[in-house]
Each structure stands twice: as C-alpha cells, then as structure tokens.
Structure 1
Amino acid sequence: MSTKRLQLIDTAAIPGGGELRLFQEGEHYSIKIAGSGDLMSTRMHGSEDKLAELGCRHATAKANARVLVGGLGLGFTLAAALRQVGASAQVVVAELVPGVVAWNRGPLGAHAGYPLSDARVLVREADVARLLRSERNHYDAILLDVDNGPDGLTHASNGWIYSSSGLGHIHAALRPGGVLAVWSAGPDRRFSERLRGSGFAVEEVGVRAHGNKGARHLVWLATRR
C-alpha cells in the first residue's frame, strides 16, 4: 500500500485577494487555489509544453527573438519556450504572485529543469497586463497561461487581458507576424471572434494534458496580420 499522502508545503497570497497553496505528494507537486481544486500539477504538463512549442515555432531560427510568458506556473511553459528559441533570445516571464517565483527557484525547479536559472530569462514580478499596456512592436511571441483561459479564476483583472481592449494592446505589443498563444481548459467561440475582431488570424489547436493522454485542452494561435 502506498505511503504517499498530500502535504501542504506553503501558501502564497494573490495580490488583490485569494491564496495559492503548494502541495506535495511523493515526488510530485500541485498548486491549488484555496477553496478549489488543482490549478496545475507536475504530473501533467503536456499542454503547457505545447503552448510554447506552437507559439514559438515561427521564432525558432529568429535572431534576437523576444518572447513574453504570462504566468510562470510550474515553469514548464517557460522551459519549453527556452528550448524553442536561440542563444540571443530574451524570454520575459511575468508572474503576479511572488510566492510562485520563489517556489520555482526552490522545490518546483527540478521538475522543469530550473528554467529561471537560464541567462536568457528576465523575471518580472508583476501583472502581465501592465507589461502589455506599455510595450509596442516588442515581442515575436506572447504566451498566456493565465488562470484557466478566457474564464479567469484567481484574479479579476485577468479578464481584461482577454477583452477586446486587452487584445488590442497585445496586437500592438507584437511585432508584425508575431503570435499570441493562449492556453485554455476548453473552447470559447466568443473569444475566437474577439481575436479575429482585434486583427488576428486565428487557429485553434487541440492538445492533451499528458502526451497523447489526459484531459483535452485548447491552444489558440493568433497571428498579428
């Protein structure tokens, strides 16, 4: 009989209200929202990997590529983005909750290969929305793994990112031909329409949580025309 049991390791306050909780079960970790179920787990990260692989595939051979990752999570999207881009690239990761950054530098780091130690990474402990409002023609790819997709869970202001106003700022922050990649737990027809209305060419790609198995998720690929 297994002796593994779920243990609460740490908690982190979400700016503006709420709390994230880090749990360990054997060699694996999960992050949960207080009062809710798993938000993410080291057991399954296939769709997070795909988010970066799909979003950065056009920038693989580009010199001085610039990528923005919105939401550090367990570090898998960031690690996958680093595998896609070259030595001269810069990958900015924006994480709202400082505790999540500390967890990735500590107990979570080994699972994703300690991507925060890569010299190409710039960490911004800030709301990704603030960065999107201030940048113009700056990024070749923007990867958003914020909340559960267009339906926000942890922070009310995340809704702005997926609004027409937010998408307009994202369009402006991308370089011509740049790609916005958005992870979501499921489809959202209205969000697809907002992307097209904001000047993007849109592709919807189904991905699985764990290789060819696990829950079915969705990645939107929206290219700035």
Structure 2
Amino acid sequence: MLERKTIASAAIPGGEEELNLVSHGRDFIIMLGRGELMGTRMQYSEEQLAVLTLAEIDAPRPRVLIGGYGMGFTYRAALSKLPEGGVVRVAEIVPEILDWAKGPLAHLTEGSLDDPRGDIRLCDVSALIDDANDGTCEKYDAILLDVDNGPDGIVRDANNRLYSRTGLGKARDALAPGGVLAIWSAAPDHRFTRRLKDAGFDVEAREVRARPNNKGPRHMIWFARKG
C-alpha cells in the first residue's frame, strides 16, 4: 500500500486548521485536517467549472474572476477556453498555495503562471468583487467561486459571507449584464439554490462527476445568471 507523505503545510488566514500538501504515489492531494479538498486524481469537475461557464457567456473578450487557485485546475481550463482578448484574474488567499504551484506542483502549471492573459493576485476574492462595485476595475462577465468545499465555509468562517445573500448580491452587482456567477460544491444544497434565486439570479444547478469517465463523486455547480 502506498504511503501518504505530507510534503508541505500552510496556515489559512482566518482559519483554525492547516492545509497540508500530501503526495500519494504519483498523485498529490491538498487536505484540510483529515479531509481531502482536492487532488490530482479527481479534477474534472473543477475543470468543468471553467469550461461550462465560458460556454455560457457571450462576451467577445470576457473578463473572468476566479476565487481560489487551489491546484490550478479551474484556472488552466479557463485559459484553454478563453477567447482572444479575454483575461482571467485569480484571487488566492494562501501564499503557500502559489509557492506549491511553482515548486512540487510545477508539472501541473504547464506555464500557465506566466500566461499574459492571466492575473493572479494574493488577496481575498471579496476584495476584487468590491473593486468591481466601486469602479476601481471593470465589471466581470463571469465570477467562478471555489474557495471552500461549497456554500458552507469549512476552510475559514469568513468564506460564509461570500455565500450569504449580501455576498451574493455583491457578486451580482460586480457582474456585467448577462454575466454568470458559477459556484462549485462537493454536494447539492437546495437551500442555497433558493438563496441564489432570492439574490436576483436566474439559476441552473448541474451535477458533474469528479472524473471524466462518469465515475467518482458527484459534485454540484450552480450557474447563476444576472438578468
């Protein structure tokens, strides 16, 4: 049996537990305590978060905001589907996540950290949403959130505000007309679907498997369109 080895750890700003980067044979996993947040064996749904969202928007040169770099699956998928002239901005709050992307996970980045269409910032995604609302930057055509395990913050309590009705309203206001807020979750949540509708979105919830062969856990992605 292959042994899991912790090769790096990182404190989460505002969180109570550490993130651990673990190797398991040729695979890598980011863990919170004993729970797996993401890993290289089951990345398909995180890629689909970007692929399906970009298929939903009509902007010729889309401005995309991603909350959470993680292992970069969503970011790289967004770049692969980005039309000419578009930009993908990423907010990551844990500095070590980006260090891992340049170090033990460098084989996964495939040069994406140097892509001129990308803009990776070390900050809370809520700050970039606020910037779009106060006119500091242009509004986004899509906002993709994968900052936790879903709309209930387990990584850090502050994530809950993103998924509150107030936080969803701020995300809606940071979108251009017809823009899409897409949210990844490890599990369905019917109350959250209602919360999105109450925040003024037209909502579609889609189930996506964790692996491309229609196997693995069933994950949920909400696509909430600004009318």
- TM-score, normalised with respect to structure 1: 0.93
Q: Which residue of 2 aligns with 1:217?
A: 219
Residues 158-210 of structure 1, C-alpha deviation per residue, up to 9 Å, x if partnerless?
Answer: 00000000001000100000001100111111111111111110001010001
Task: Describe the SS at the equivalent of 2:217.
Answer: strand
* Stretch moving more, 130-139 or 208-217: 130-139
Any stretches of 5+ residues in structure 2 without a counterpart? none
Question: What CA RMSD, in Å, does the superposition of the two structures yield over aligned residues?
Answer: 1.4
Distance 1:62 1:174 in 2: 12
Q: Is the 8 A contact 2:64 2:89 kept in 1?
A: yes
Distance 2:203 2:125 in 1: 22
One-letter code aligned to 1:179: V
Percentage identity across paired residues of the two chains: 47
Distance 2:209 2:110 in 1: 21
* Stretch moving more, 69-78 or 10-19: 10-19
Q: Which residue of 2 aligns with 1:192?
A: 193
- For residue 52 of structure 2, the aligned residue among 51, 54, 77 is 54
Deviation at 1:102, TM superposition (A): 1.1
Residues 61-105 of structure 1, C-alpha deviation per residue, up to 9 Å, x if partnerless?
Answer: 743310001011110000111111123111100001010011112
Within the alignment, does 1:64 sit opposite 2:61 as a pair?
Answer: yes
Any stretches of 5+ residues in structure 1 without a counterpart? none
Distance 1:89 1:62 in 2: 9
Q: Is the 8 A contact 2:51 2:81 kept in 1?
A: yes
1:60-209 to 2 correspondences below 5 Å: 62-136=59-133, 138-209=139-210
Deviation at 1:127, TM superposition (A): 0.9
Q: How many residues align?
A: 221
- TM-score, normalised with respect to structure 2: 0.93
